[in-house]
Amino acid sequence: MKYAKNILETIGNTPLVKVNKLTSTLPCVVLAKYETFNPGNSVKDRMALQMIEDAEVSGILKSGGTIVEATSGNTGMGLALAAIVKGYKLVCIISDKQSKEKIDILKAMGSEVHVCPTDVAPSDPRSYYSTAKRLAKEIPNAWYVNQYDNPSNAKAHYLSTGPEIWEQTGGQITHFVVGVGTGGTISGVGKFLKEKNPDIKIWGVDTYGSVFKKYYETGVFDENEIYPYITEGIGEDILPKNVDFKIIDGFTKVTDKDAAIYTQRLAKEEAMFVGNSAGAAIKGVLQLKEHFKKDDVVVVLFHDHGSRYVGKMYNDDWMREKGFLD
């Protein structure tokens, strides 16, 4: 008989799926690394398990302990899967800009959820960064994951996502495009692919209101770049240690409106019911058209599932309210 001993053994080995209609104007093949096939429906399952297993080995996560993390939802889901299987408690701190579906899913998986305001500085005691650090100190036998600076985040993608993409493309990949948040995916995958072929280009998709693109291009952390934005799962108002700018070949920024519209278009034109960051990612690929030529193989990573956005990007009333639809 063939079966997984538990749900964690089903993480990884997600398919590559060709994007057809939306990329018909491009000279190259565009393949989506379709991460919704992970059991928690996102790429974050990979690094959540890696971070927990490395913490167990190092001894900082002890039996019966409590895992504490600031999350936009998907990392929390990955942590929830591992916490249930391994017998830990989980406390998730999430910002109020995230979809209600993400909060409800975390609660459904037995997690304790604290919702914090988005529009405050990272150092503000009300921010989800500060709240996570405080709770990790207050709760006995707690471990603060800190996906932003935890090296096991990028390690997970160096060990799994990168090798999968290389094998699935037969080493023919020429470009990797992905939305950047914590930086683990782009840095881990990018490191592996560059070691295989230094000519592979690694492109990050950023959002307006985030510091990444300007910092990459100028080395200046410009606080004037920071302002509220709607796109979920990418962009930051901090510089996570997991973002290895040396590996990245460039950034392109996608507007909230384009990210939302292309999220809907992926569902309606490609039958790909994926999340908000996937809309940003595929629009980013289209914006990079001039960098692609015939016979190139572009891999774009789609982070999570559309079910987490049915009240937002997949709701036309919400889209009209935000000015994204006429």
> Catalytic residue positions?
44
Residue spans of alpha helices (H) in the chain: 44-58, 74-86, 100-108, 128-138, 151-156, 162-168, 184-196, 212-218, 256-270, 276-287, 316-321
- What is the torsional sign of CA 264, 306, 171, 291? positive
Q: How far apart are CA 130 and CA 171, in angstroms?
A: 42
Q: How far apart are CA 46 and CA 139, in angstroms?
A: 26
Q: How far apart are CA 70 and CA 324, in angstroms?
A: 29
Q: Is residue 246 classed exposed, middle or buried when 0-12, 13-18 and 19+ CB atoms within 10 A define those classes?
A: exposed
CB 144 within 8 A of CB 68: yes
Q: How far apart are CA 260 and CA 313, in angstroms?
A: 5
What residues have CB less than 8 Å from 102, skipping those under 6 apart? 72, 73, 74, 76, 77, 94, 308
What residues have CB less than 8 Å from 147, skipping those under 6 apart? 47, 51, 69, 70, 71, 75, 153, 182, 184, 242
